[in-house]
């Protein structure tokens, strides 16, 4: 009979120990789930932080690029009158005079060097003679009837325009052709 009591006691002890183990396993599984959730949340936070840093880097690069281009644009606007004046000086100069030939060569060389230098930084000249008028790049100063030019084309460039990195710094000042009165506009 004592064996029976021990067996019952052993079974009761086993049941209690099993219940304790099951309870402990349940608590450990819950703790593991909580830890996994925390890990997942922290991984998401790390990914978000990395994305924020990457976005900030891109924005900063873009702003630096814009600042550089703006600085170049201001510099280009300061140089354009100098280039214009050198071109005007060469246009009106007496090329036959032996006295000023060396000076003209110096001005031509200086102008070429200046044009080459600004071109390295993306400043491109607009000289649209014969091209279709484009209000994005050209400013019409006058419109004149012309049988020699197609309607809405640039007949004469009064002042060259310039583009810096795809952005108009100064539009070309132009005279635009229109159809002679009494003729049919072929492009219409």
Is the model's pLDDT at 8 over the cut of 70?
A: no
Q: How confident is the model at residue 175 (pLDDT cuts 50, 70, 90)?
A: very high
- The single-letter DSSP state of residue 153 is B
DSSP string, 67-132: HHHHHHHHHHHHHHHHHHHHHHHHHHS-TT-TTTHHHHHHHHHHHHHHHHHHHHTTEEEE--TTSB
The tokens of 136 are what? 């994005």
Q: What is the pLDDT of residues 37-88, one digit of tens each?
A: 999 999 999 999 999 999 999 999 999 988 887 788 888 999 999 999 999 9
Question: Alpha-carbon distance 52 to 93, whole Å?
Answer: 61
Q: What mean pLDDT is predicted for residues 118-138?
A: 93
The pLDDT assigned to 184 comes to 53
- H and E: helices and strands count for the chain: 2, 6
The pLDDT assigned to 186 comes to 47
Is the model's pLDDT at 1 over the cut of 70?
A: no
**Domains, the chain:** 124-188 (2.30.22.10)
Sequence-distant (≥ 6) Cβ neighbours of residue 115 within 8 angstroms = 83, 125
Choose between 171 and 182: higher pLDDT.
171
The pLDDT assigned to 111 comes to 96
Is the model's pLDDT at 91 over the cut of 70?
A: yes
User: How many CB atoms within 10 Å of residue 158?
Assistant: 11
Task: Please answer whether residues 151 and 179 qualify as being in contact, where contact means their C-beta atoms are separated by less than 8 angstroms.
Answer: yes
Is the model's pLDDT at 188 over the cut of 50?
A: no
């Amino acid at each position: 009979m004592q064996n029976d009591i021990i067996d019952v006691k052993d079974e009761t002890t086993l049941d209690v120990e099993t219940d304790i183990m099951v309870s402990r396993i349940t608590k450990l599984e819950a703790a593991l789930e909580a830890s996994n959730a925390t890990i997942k949340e922290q991984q998401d936070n790390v990914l978000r932080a990395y994305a924020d840093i990457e976005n900030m880097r891109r924005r900063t690069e873009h702003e630096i690029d814009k600042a550089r281009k703006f600085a170049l644009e201001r510099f280009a606007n300061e140089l354009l009158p100098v280039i214009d004046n050198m071109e005007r000086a060469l246009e009106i100069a007496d090329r036959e005079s032996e006295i000023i030939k060396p000076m003209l060569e110096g001005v031509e060389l200086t102008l070429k060097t200046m044009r080459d230098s600004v071109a390295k930084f993306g400043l491109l000249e607009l000289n649209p003679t014969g091209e279709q008028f484009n209000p994005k790049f050209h400013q019409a100063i006058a419109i004149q009837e012309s049988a020699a030019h197609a309607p809405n084309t640039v007949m004469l460039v009064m002042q060259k325009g310039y583009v810096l990195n795809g952005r108009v710094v100064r539009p070309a000042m132009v005279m635009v052709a229109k159809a002679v009165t009494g003729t049919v506009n072929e492009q219409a």
